A and B are shown apart, each in its own frame.
Chain A
Amino acid sequence: MAELRTAGDGQEGSLAREKTWQRYIKEIPPDGYFFLPSCVLGAMYPAAEAMIPRLFDLLDLDWECNLGPGAMCTCCTGMSYHGDICTIESTLLVVARLWSLAQQAGFDTIATACVTSFGIHCECVELYRNEPGLKKKIDRLLRQACNREFDIPRHIVHVSDIVYRHRVRLGRDFMSYALVDAKTGRPLRVVDQVGCHYSKLFPDERSLGGADYCQVLVGLIQDWGGEAIDYPERRHCCGMGFRHSIITPNRGYTAACVGKKMASMEPFAPDLILTNCPGCQVHMDKQQWALKELTQREYYVPVLTYTELAGLLLGWDPYDIVGIQFHTVPVEPLLDKIGIPHDRRESWLDRNGQPLPCPDEIVRATEEDSRGDGELP
């Protein structure tokens, strides 16, 4: 007979979570990544994606990316596949070509910036595993289409997996700041928003920590000084859902999903929402503005990707490198909490560093900052 559990100090929950995480083992190779960028992340938060190579280089990792002039990397078809526009054979073919490029470059680990790409690549591997003869068929189609050969890669990882693998080193050797309120020393309360296509498609072998208590972002939060908070709608999708969010009149459903999540997390007073999915990042950030317009509820909890958070804690320039000016929900209050110095005028510089026309309230706020009203002790 198991002993009855009684009121405790709350540690038992943490221990049980760790026990749960130990059930999931995922091999993340230490090095040698063929990096595939995201369609959405680079378009909406370009700095978040541009920081991935910067992080890899900081960690002195061996990686490659087929981008720039004459680039041969393409979209993985995720948007159209999940939008019911293209067939699975098209997806398999396009992904086979991407694998072929990686193998041509001598890499056997695919590292995607996008959670849906991660899901697509994993799904392709599963299909090859479970459908005898499929590999032969796609081999033939790939030869016909572009005269290429491919093998199933050994590892499919998401870039957040790689950051998770190196999180301790990042925090210990490189970071200048921690997820701590600089005034009070309180660990910042962080909500994780893990992409569904990372944690829910193949939770047993592809997701760090499984679907229910996914560890990939929680590990970063805890190792970098913050407190991960659980709330009832934590596992709820951000509402992106591809087809309906592509069709403008259906976007109300997305806003409703974000609204449900925000209302559920509000009593827990989060300081930050951390994402590893471009779709989650876009919708959790932009829909907070939509909710304010629609319902007059202003949540305005800053939303950052894991690379943006790493960049800020590493002390990289919040505007020039981390690109927080692309965010709809202002990130500056979070910078103030952590104690990261910033100059709001930088958000109104063009690519040549010349000032753009700046709204009056920004000018006023900047002047107040410069007088010391908003400065940290």
Chain B
Amino acid sequence: MKENVLILGGGVAGMQTALALSNIGIASTLIEKEPQLGGRVRNYEKLFPSFESGRRLVETLEQQLLTASFVDVRLQTKVACVDGQPAHFNVWVENHRDVLQANALVVATGFEPFDCSLQEEYGYGIYRNVISATELERFLDSSGPTAGEVRRPSDGGIPETIAIVFCVGSRSDRVGSKYCSRICCSFSTKHAIEIKEKYPQAKVTCFYIDIRTYGRGFEEMYRRAQEMGVTYIRGRVSECSELLNGDITIRAENTFLGRPLQGVFNLVSLSHGMRPSKDASHIAGMLGIAVAEDGFFQTRDMHLYPNDATRDGVFLAGSATGLKPVPDCIADGNSVAARVHEFLRRMDIKGDEHA
């Protein structure tokens, strides 16, 4: 048997898992359904809170994978079905005739952005100048379609007043996302800073429920945004409507003042929350593992075994268990490698014999 560990998902968590396993002498097959590695991070020009390039991070990981001794990368590949027992899994791969044998499985399938059109009161997809955070990210990308300029989709003009609406599809029972997506406050604040850096005269207003910039350096980034003149209004936006010139009126409540308010903006960006990967339930059924109430994969124990799935020999990395910023995904990759190593030793399977 050549491969020991099969990793589903070639985002940063999956890549780091493969690297960490290789570094301790365990071979792995990294399966990615897209034509390139890096997942969503590849599309982020700047990561919070350091504003370093996500693309460069992915390229670094790719370089390391190229030189890693025990990693087999398979792009545009999907798992068709899995059978066998822990430590002896058989994995059928779509479009390939071979059956891969794996001693352990790692699920690193990431997340999906929430479809903003489901929160209908914001008019995403209907009003031209209501865009999603993913679209704003592309606008702000210097290698994106507008070469880094923020443009109004309706007329191509540069907006002077921009609203950023937090928690779209998060913390909302109505749209089936009771949980906090955890990273949206931070990436929205990053967007606000990027806009102010590019257009110092622009008026950027953020509507939030609570600011949850919890990670190292995140709160400092939030403070920096305020110092740059970004306005934060605590209150959920109830409605967006379009005016004749394409501007968007926002109706909200300022919960600090206890008063409703209305404002007109040239452009509105919806900071969408995240949902489990579309394939999560299918993969869970295929591998015989559980998903939690929020739709992300269930861990064996939230405190003791946060990277173990509910079945022996299956492990979870990155945002498969809930939203995580990039440093946490990288840390998860290392943790999972350690858990896999421990499992293989327990099952008396020595990965380094393939060296």
Contacts and interface: CB of A to CB of B under 8 A. Distances in A.
Chain A partners chain B: yes
A232 B243 contact: yes
B12 to A, nearest CB: 16
A19 B123 CA distance: 12
A2 interface: yes
A4 B139 contact: yes
A235 interface: yes
A1 B241 contact: no
Contact of A233 (B40, B128, B241): B241
Contacts of B117: 16, 19-20
Interface in A1-17: 1-2, 4-8, 10, 12-13, 16-17
Given A2-B132, A2-B135, A212-B120, A231 B241 contact: yes
A17 B128 CA distance: 12
Contacts of A6: 153, 156
Contacts of A17: 126
A268 B132 contact: no
B134 interface: yes
B244 A213 contact: no
A210 B120 contact: yes
A7 B153 contact: yes
Given A4-B145, A13-B127, A17-B126, A212 B121 contact: yes
A368 interface: no
Interface in B75-119: 117
Interface in B223-239: 239
Contacts of B144: 4
A263 to B, nearest CB: 13
B242 interface: yes
B249 interface: yes
Nearest to A230: B242
A344 interface: no
A7 B152 CA distance: 8
The range of chain A's interface size is: 20 to 34
Contacts of A10: 128
A158 B82 CA distance: 52
Interface residues of B, number: 30
A267 B244 CA distance: 8
Given A1-B134, A230-B242, A13 B249 contact: no
B337 to A, nearest CB: 29
Nearest to A212: B120
Contacts, number: 65
A251 interface: no
Nearest to A210: B120
A241 B135 CA distance: 40
Contacts of A13: 125-128
Contacts of B126: 13, 16-17, 20, 213
A4 B249 contact: no
Contacts of A2: 132, 134-135
A231 B239 CA distance: 12
B43 interface: yes
Contact of B241 (A7, A16, A234, A267): A234
Contact of A20 (B120, B145, B249): B120
Contacts of B40: 1
B167 to A, nearest CB: 18
Contacts of B128: 5, 7-8, 10, 12-13
B142 to A, nearest CB: 15
A5 B144 CA distance: 13
A1 B43 contact: yes
Interface in A196-222: 210-213
B132 A19 contact: no
B155 interface: yes
B154 interface: yes
Interface string B23-53: 0000000000000000010010000000000
Contacts of B241: 230-234
A17 B244 CA distance: 18
A12 B242 CA distance: 14
B153 A16 contact: no
Interface string A76-89: 00000000000000
A230 B128 CA distance: 13
Interface string A124-160: 0000000000000000000000000000000000000
A10 B127 CA distance: 9
Contacts of B138: 1, 4
6 contacts: A4-B135, A4-B144, A7-B156, A12-B128, A19-B117, A235-B239
Interface of A: 1-2, 4-8, 10, 12-13, 16-17, 19-20, 210-213, 230-235, 267-268
Given A4-B135, A213-B126, 14 more contacts: A2-B135, A4-B139, A4-B146, A5-B135, A5-B153, A7-B128, A7-B153, A7-B154, A7-B156, A16-B126, A20-B126, A212-B239, A232-B242, A234-B241
